[in-house]
A and B are shown apart, each in its own frame.
Chain A
């Protein structure tokens, strides 16, 4: 019917040679930025955006979208091979993906991620094509009170994400949240904790902090120990293909991750990062037989999150295509590509420029297939990357990290942050702290604070707003469960069985 006609029309647009080329170019550039640590998606999109003016609006949009989801494909590569996240959305993958690779299954891990990204991309494009308008209405039901509770719920549940003591993780989470308060306050515009310097007004950006904590500290670790990166001894096809047993564990996690990512992508905030934490948390919580494997190379621990960040890249387009409201800078940049062409993005985009919207959607099907075709043969090449002499590899990663971080905001301060957090990360690792909660705190801290203050402005200081709105009430209840649930579970276990060491 109508949908089919629209979709066919979309494919007619997407299959034009120039558009196929744009999708391939975008996907390729995206994969490269994803693989290279520090070089961000936003930077790559911003650099290529001026080129889009020479093409039609739909061609430009296809290319930018290709970079966006291509980066989500590539981000896992260094996370798995070197324990250095290529994008902030791949931080979680450094936990289990890297451990899995150390068992000699690096190729299989990369292949699971590539296929998982493809499945997640496909599922969410179908969701996007079928339900855009409906989903946009759902997304609007979430406002400041709900964001505030979601951030709280995320913090409360994800402190249990790693094997460490939850109290220890909570400390790291709070440190991350405290760091996030430095700089310009998003609500009032006042500067806080800056000692009247314009440098500290910049605050701690996620990219240098994450790359310092994970990337640089890992390099320091490799340099200090004789252990080094895991060596790829042989790269035979047999070792790159996941076994049937591995697949049967991966695919349910991929499907769940896709769903989680799709829903989180509808909301404002850095969904590509939060969705991966959420997916990891869910996988760990529902794991029955392999629970003790988490942190030591559980397949679900990277298959789910890698699917989630790809689903986010697609569903983040929902608010922008249906309402004209960009919730993330990446999507805002895609809007910019339309504006440059004189197309006004907004709720009328779909009816006024159906060729653009449907052409983009159709191109995403094609782009995902292209990415899978591109990434599977690359797996062998990436694994061979580990055979590069360590001194060369480390030097290269150092250089690319510095360049990447500098390009984000053109700021020397961010380079100091990068190095500083490299040292901090090394020390914290040595004394046995987990770094993930700190990053999470840095990300959800501002969301939580801003949403809390907006909520209280909205309600005039009345906290009952958190239980009088239906969605908020459910989320509040979940927060309570998250706090008291584990304690009750311990009591029940103690009552029924001999207490056991966890």
Chain B
């Protein structure tokens, strides 16, 4: 009799264990929210929606897209990193709001990359410098030489306060040139101004300029990536031309800090699968974004580097 009780007890214990295990394995059991930190329409939104669809297969739950725009992209990040770390709220964003705008937008409840959890990188955007196709200056060396002889004469269309400005400034400092920096609020404005021949140069994203390169309006001088792009191997990198400036804009999936490890593993695994989903690849490739899963730890290191490099020299108490 006692034996039976013990057995029963053991059985129920193992059953409970199995249940707990099942519950854990069953994450997620309700729809997951994926926050896009820009409004509907535009590159980030298209990527967020494609990622959401690709995540639905491995997660076996609907993924709701939530657009929280504003605050130079920081508001969406705030919504994610201040959410309950239960795995049901994740976000997708690039490094600009998280490493650069974070220094200028006041009143944020988060700061350096240790205050949130990067689950992994999903795509890499290269940044490039192009010149008017009909310019007599053919190569980057020509441009640097001309800029040194004529300080302040060349103009470059770029984007203020983001990775593009940071990258351009780093290059201009290394090359020791004085080029007039004309900031626009996005790729569209910058490309339009460049096409209207208001500036000789454009330091923007490769996705923004590629189409103009293809129709022969813009000539790429180099890209700021770690190596040449697989899609356009003829374009050199700044690094190989002797200017050691290596930055990319990276799309990452991130979450509030403190998600239980088991759940976190499920999401990371799903993100890994999503990145190889053909539909997802198609959407990113159409925007000329290199699709690639990068480990969360590596992305955190990369983000921290830019965060520190762009921090104001006087500590602002963050």
Q: Report which of A46, A184, A190, A342 forms a contact with B70, defined as CB distance below 8 A.
A: A184
Q: Report which of A197, A324, A409 forms a contact with B107, defined as CB distance below 8 A.
A: A197
Q: Is B28 engaged at the interface, CB distance under 8 Å to the other chain? A: no
| Contact (Cβ within 8 A) A458 B182 | yes
Q: Is A155 engaged at the interface, CB distance under 8 Å to the other chain? A: no
The CA-CA distance from A333 to B49 in the complex, in Å, is: 12
Q: Report which of B106, B161, B184, B188 forms a contact with A326, defined as CB distance below 8 A.
A: B188
Q: Is B309 engaged at the interface, CB distance under 8 Å to the other chain? A: no
Q: Is A188 engaged at the interface, CB distance under 8 Å to the other chain? A: yes
| Chain B residues proximal to chain A, CB less than 8 Å | 39-43, 45-46, 49-50, 53, 65-72, 74-75, 78, 100-101, 104-109, 152, 155, 160-162, 180-185, 188-189, 191-193, 195-196, 198-199, 210-212, 214-215, 217, 279, 282-283, 285-288
| Contact (Cβ within 8 A) A189 B70 | no
Chain A residue, CB-CB nearest to B213: A346
The CA-CA distance from A186 to B105 in the complex, in Å, is: 12
Residues of chain A contacted by B72 (CB below 8 angstroms): 184, 189
Known A-B contacts A196-B106, A348-B214; A340 and B50 likewise in contact (beta carbons under 8 Å): yes
The CA-CA distance from A169 to B193 in the complex, in Å, is: 33
Chain B residue, CB-CB nearest to A64: B41
Q: Could you tell me which residues of chain A, from 136 to 182, have a CB within 8 Å of some CB in chain B?
A: 140-144
Chain A residue, CB-CB nearest to B278: A342
Known A-B contacts A144-B193, A198-B108, A268-B189; A344 and B42 likewise in contact (beta carbons under 8 Å): no
Q: Can you pick out 30 interface pairs between chain A and chain B where the beta carbons lie within 8 Å of each other?
A: A140-B196, A143-B192, A143-B193, A183-B71, A184-B72, A188-B183, A190-B104, A190-B161, A198-B75, A198-B78, A201-B70, A202-B71, A203-B70, A325-B191, A332-B188, A333-B42, A334-B41, A338-B286, A341-B286, A342-B286, A346-B210, A346-B214, A409-B67, A409-B68, A410-B68, A454-B182, A457-B183, A458-B180, A458-B182, A458-B199
Chain B residue, CB-CB nearest to A141: B196
Q: Is A194 engaged at the interface, CB distance under 8 Å to the other chain? A: yes
| Contact (Cβ within 8 A) A336 B189 | no
| Contact (Cβ within 8 A) A457 B181 | yes
| Contact (Cβ within 8 A) A344 B288 | yes
| Chain A residues proximal to chain B, CB less than 8 Å | 42-43, 45-46, 49-50, 53, 140-144, 183-184, 186-191, 194, 196-198, 201-203, 268, 319, 323-327, 329-336, 338-348, 409-411, 450, 454, 457-458, 460
| Contact (Cβ within 8 A) B214 A409 | no
| Contact (Cβ within 8 A) A325 B104 | no
Chain B residue, CB-CB nearest to A40: B40
Q: Max chain B CB contacts within 10 Å: which of A53, A329, A336?
A: A336
Chain B residue, CB-CB nearest to A142: B196
| Contact (Cβ within 8 A) B40 A46 | yes
B190 to chain A, nearest CB (A): 10
Residues of chain A contacted by B155 (CB below 8 angstroms): 458
| Contact (Cβ within 8 A) B180 A196 | no
Chain B residue, CB-CB nearest to A344: B286
| Contact (Cβ within 8 A) B101 A189 | yes
| Contact (Cβ within 8 A) B41 A46 | yes
Known A-B contacts A189-B161, A330-B41, A410-B66; A348 and B196 likewise in contact (beta carbons under 8 Å): no
Residues of chain A contacted by B286 (CB below 8 angstroms): 338-339, 341-344
| Contact (Cβ within 8 A) A342 B283 | yes
Chain A residue, CB-CB nearest to B214: A348
Q: Max chain B CB contacts within 10 Å: which of A330, A343, A458?
A: A458
| Contact (Cβ within 8 A) A201 B46 | no
The 9 closest A-B CB pairs, nearest first, are: A346-B211, A333-B41, A189-B161, A46-B40, A332-B41, A342-B282, A140-B196, A196-B107, A336-B46
The CA-CA distance from A396 to B253 in the complex, in Å, is: 40
| Contact (Cβ within 8 A) B160 A187 | yes
A423 to chain B, nearest CB (A): 23
Q: Report which of B43, B45, B50, B105 forms a contact with A184, defined as CB distance below 8 A.
A: B105
